[in-house]
Amino acid sequence: MAICNSLSVRFLVLLVAVVFAAACGTSSAEDSTASERRARPPVIDESRPKIVAFGDSLTAGFGLTEKESYPYLLQKRLEKDGFNYEVVNAGISGDTSLGGLERIDWVLEEKNVEILILELGANDLLRNVPVEKMKENLDRIIRKAKAKDVEVLFCGMLAPPAVGEEYQREYVNAFADLATEHDVRFVPFLLENVALNKDLNQADGIHPNAKGTVIMTDNIYKELKPMLGKTGR
């Protein structure tokens, strides 16, 4: 889970892409009411074990149809492989670690939640939230999940060099440190093999298109599959 200290120039550019990709829909999210932010995600069948996709615009599926979003694609992948989990899309565009902390209890109240895919933090960077505060919020989310015996798949975020060497180092390390501290599975870069590829992104060059989201789902499923238990068979 360690982050390599020497990064290529191209990879540093990719860092910029992932930060802005996760931050989409900020203005619309800021206009949301408190009740909307805390709304429970829709659940189809309470008897099935649940995987909750919890995050910001990358999870919500900004600019995509519901059937093109990664939670939907993940559901189909699970069904194809014979797993009986229900994937719940609990993504809100523009959400921050604080927003996630404010609504995580509602999500964890759903019956039979077994796995939480946690993808938050990029909007904290854009809003200059101190790294320690962001880390504290994410830490509390993970602790709340584990207190409910919910396993966590943690998606790390990456900061561009423009924020300064010290902030960049602290920000990137915060995710890896939390993953190590809590001994949870970790996806360091959700948009690996997607960012900056115009054929895999929407017209804004930021958000994955339908093809890019398929690859993003692959990145998640690679780490998720070893977590799937017998209850999902």
**Residues tagged active-site:** 57, 204, 207
CA 168 to chain CA centroid, nearest Å:
19
User: CB–CB of 55/117 below 8 Å?
Assistant: yes
Angle at 175 between CA 156 and CA 104, to 5 degrees: 80
* Cβ neighbourhood burial of 62 (10 Å; 0-12, 13-18, 19+): buried
CA distance 140 to 54: 14
Give the chain's largest Cα–Cα span. 48
Q: Which two tokens stand for residue 29?
A: 């999210």
DSSP letters for 12-29:
HHHHHHHHHHHTTTHHHH
Backbone angles phi, psi at 95, to 5 degrees: -70, 155
Looking at the DSSP bridge assignments, the partners of residue 86 are: 50
DSSP letters for 122-158:
HHHHHTT--HHHHHHHHHHHHHHHHHTT-EEEEE---
**DSSP 3-state assignment of 113?**
strand
